[in-house]
Structure 1
Amino acid sequence: MRLTVLTCLVAIGGLCGFAPSALADTKVLVKTRTYDISGTTGAALIEAMDRNGPKRHGFMTHAIALTAYTVNWDLDIRREGGACRLRQANGTLDLTYTLPRLASAATPALQKRWKRFFAGVRAHELNHGRIART
């Protein structure tokens, strides 16, 4: 994504008379939020996630987990010799994961199932984060 956006900025800059020799720097800020769930069965945990999970923008239902991100740009544009020059483009990717956290005591069997389930949910959300970084 960073390369695509920078390429677009340079292309637009070229059309507008900007110099295409701009430098880019990107920072990635990652936050992880959790919400508590409790229950003594897998079904109870699913119900708790459905009740307490993050609301998806534009949807009426709750998600099990959520990856949200924003991209902010700090552009250094200077006017030199009658033309605008893009000297530097610094981007910041703010990436936030929201994941369920098992807050109640669980039997060893439920803990084992939860760990396997949570590993899959976490891997899924990290993949969204990987996509946002590209």
Structure 2
Amino acid sequence: MRSCIRLCLSLAALMALPLAAHADWKPVEQIKPYAISGQSGPELYRSIGENGPKLGIVHAIAHTNFKLTWTRDYQARAGACVLASARPKLIITYTLPSASAPLPPAIQKNWEVFLAGVSAHEKVHGAAIIDMVRKIEAATVGLTVPDDPKCSKIRTEMTRLLSELSQAQRQASRDFDRVELGQGGNLQKLILALVNGG
């Protein structure tokens, strides 16, 4: 199932979870470009507003999306249920603007700076997704629920735990974007530099 949730746990939530080394899986990261047109900074930015990924009623400059599935091994042990292992499969997709035609040299330079900055912003979301998945793994592998020989109660407990983590990351993601797009924020500076640069 495709999700548009950005996973960025708050520092407090991350610190509360146990750390563990999980080097046996790696995420797949891919870029999904969308075409924009224009020969000046204002034209390019206007095209982003018309063609960018739609989030609700507005078009974003860029977006980080992910698909996460798990292979989990639940085991009944002496009447209890234990999550013996959990292996994630994580695909992260960065949707980024791409100029559809060659740009004048001065505009090209400004565009490259803008795109690099936007890409770096989305990479922060990507890194947080990866970190979140590792924290989920660390928090759930070994989870034991007593009196659960059919391994049904443990799924309810995991849903509760993951719901808490999800709510925390959503808020952290919103906070990060608000700072970046706010007065003096990094993304705001990038936008102004592109639009005012020509």
Measured against the shorter chain, the TM-score band is: 0.7 to 0.9
The correspondence of residues 1-134 of structure 1 with structure 2, limited to 5 A, is 26-56=25-55, 59-134=56-131
Q: What is the distance in 2 between the residues matched to 1:127 and 1:80?
A: 40
Q: What is the distance in 2 between the residues matched to 1:127 and 1:84?
A: 36
Q: What is the distance in 2 between the residues matched to 1:117 and 1:24?
A: 33
Q: What is the CA distance between 1:124 and its match in structure 2?
A: 0.6
CA contact (8 A) 1:34 1:99 kept: yes
Q: What is the distance in 1 between the residues matched to 2:97 and 2:32?
A: 9
What TM-score do you get using the length of structure 1 for normalisation?
Answer: 0.75
Question: In the alignment, residue 89 of structure 2 is paired with which amino acid?
Answer: T
Q: Show CA shifts across 1:74-116 (max 9, x none).
A: 2101223433232211112221100001111211011011011
Question: In the alignment, residue 99 of structure 1 is paired with which amino acid?
Answer: L
Unmatched tracts of structure 2, length 5 or more:
1-8, 132-198
Q: What is the distance in 1 between the residues matched to 2:128 and 2:79?
A: 39
Unmatched tracts of structure 1, length 5 or more:
9-22
Q: Sort the Cα spacing of 1:51 and 1:93 in 2 relative to 1 into closer, same or farther, 3 A.
A: same
What TM-score do you get using the length of structure 2 for normalisation?
Answer: 0.52
- Quick check: which one's strand share is greater? 1
User: 1:14 aligns to what?
Assistant: none
| SS in structure 2 of the partner of residue 115 of structure 1 | helix
- Identity, in percent, stands at 39
- Quick check: which one's helix share is greater? 2
Q: Over aligned residue pairs, what C-alpha RMSD do you find?
A: 2.2
Give 4+ residue runs of structure 1 displaced > 6 Å after superposition: none
Q: What is the distance in 2 between the residues matched to 1:100 and 1:38?
A: 10
